[in-house]
Amino acid sequence: MTELIARVQGHCDDRFAAVRAAFERNFHDGHELGAAVSVRVEGRTVVDLWGGWADGARTRAWERDTLVNVWSTTKGATALCAHLLLDRGLLDLDAPVAAYWPEFAAAGKESVTVRQLLTHRAGLAGLREPHSLGQVYDWELTTSRLAATEPWWEPGTRSGYHAMTYGFLVGEVVRRITGLRPGAFLRQEVTGPLGLDFSIGLPETEAHRAAEVIQPPVEVTPELAAQYAQFTPVALAALGNPGMSGADANTPAWRAAEIPAANGHATARGVAALYGIFAGGGRLDGRRVFSAGTAELIREGQGSCRDLVLGPGFGHDTEAGLGLWLSGPHAMYGPNPRAFGHDGFGGSFGLADPEASLGVGYVMNLMGPHIADDPRKAALLDAVYSTL
């Protein structure tokens, strides 16, 4: 066994030995630097493993409480905030966004609904004007520009992945209702009371726990070049405005900002528990977060289609629920087509499967080239489901 495999630590029930083997194999095959995986079944943690290195120089071991930026896996936490307000009767899915955020009615968006924001169907996958990463850190500027812009397509007719804008759109609705941005609302209502290691942004006091994100150079193969050639202006706006790299996630400015679509920081344990709220019918560790009906609602499908942003990469149709993606016929989140979850750029993911009472979280710091469906995810999920 290599040194990296020997550094895998934590707990794994004997029944889930296949998960440990798959996790270790990812290290052995050179696909990991540092990573963690956590699996909850019927409310109990059956796998909680971590290993490798928290920095590219391999001077800091990945520890039990190491945090890392999880990119779009953050969207599950932001969706949870919206569903908590829905459960309390403070948010109506089919109300116009402008009922909560009046300025949003500009540029023909007066009929865009909250449902369309949650399902990537609002036509606001990216800003039309150049928007730098430094400007992304400015909440008021970013939300005001989104309120003023016009949709790329007729809202409600198609999905187009709102890679960065999703968090500001849903997050501003949360702020208009509660007076709190989603990071503070999540901490006050969910992660604080439940003790979950998941935050939107990262307090400076926790920076010592953060792993360094490493993004290797991407080899542009003919297949990848063919995908790039299919990118439309809306896809380029969603994925490239602003341009950024994995290294940006290591900066104090990124960590200090609130980007509710992309800068969640978590342990795998925190991801599994947060997504486990959905898998557990709105309950976690015996505590009710929201009703079972609300928990079920998040996976209400909005119609399968070729996503305007993700389509070139996936090559198949996808279907969004009310904030997360359905596993569907392509088994994006395991064999249950009604399971759901979200991937993070480079590899992380969270999964909820209510039928199996299953919540899974996986985080890592060596980014792969995939927006979603990283091979490490597939290996771990195959192992998890082989034991159920």
Q: 44-52 and 287-288: which strand pairing?
A: unpaired
The amino acid at 376: R
Task: Compute CA 153 distance to the chain's CA centroid, rounded to the nearest angstrom.
Answer: 24
| Token pair for 4 | 């990296």
72 is catalytic: yes
End-to-end Cα distance, the chain: 28
Number of C-beta neighbours around residue 297 at 10 A = 17
Q: What are phi and psi of 143, to 5 degrees?
A: -70, -35
Q: Is 172 helix (H, G, I), strand (E, B) or coil?
A: helix
Q: Is 231 helix (H, G, I), strand (E, B) or coil?
A: coil
Which is catalytic among the residues 72, 159, 199, 348? 72
Q: Is 64 helix (H, G, I), strand (E, B) or coil?
A: coil
Report the largest interatomic distance among the alpha carbons of the chain, rounded to a whole angstrom. Answer: 61
The amino acid at 326: L
DSSP 346: T
- Residue among 336, 341, 327, 342 at smallest CA distance from 355: 336
| Distance in angstroms (rounded) separating the CA atoms of residues 356 and 359 | 9
Helix axes 165-178, 139-148, angle to 10 degrees: 100
Number of C-beta neighbours around residue 128 at 10 A = 16
| Distance in angstroms (rounded) separating the CA atoms of residues 124 and 234 | 9
The amino acid at 72: S
Give strand pairing partners of 358: 41, 353
- Residue among 215, 187, 190, 214 at smallest CA distance from 203: 187
Catalytic residues: 72
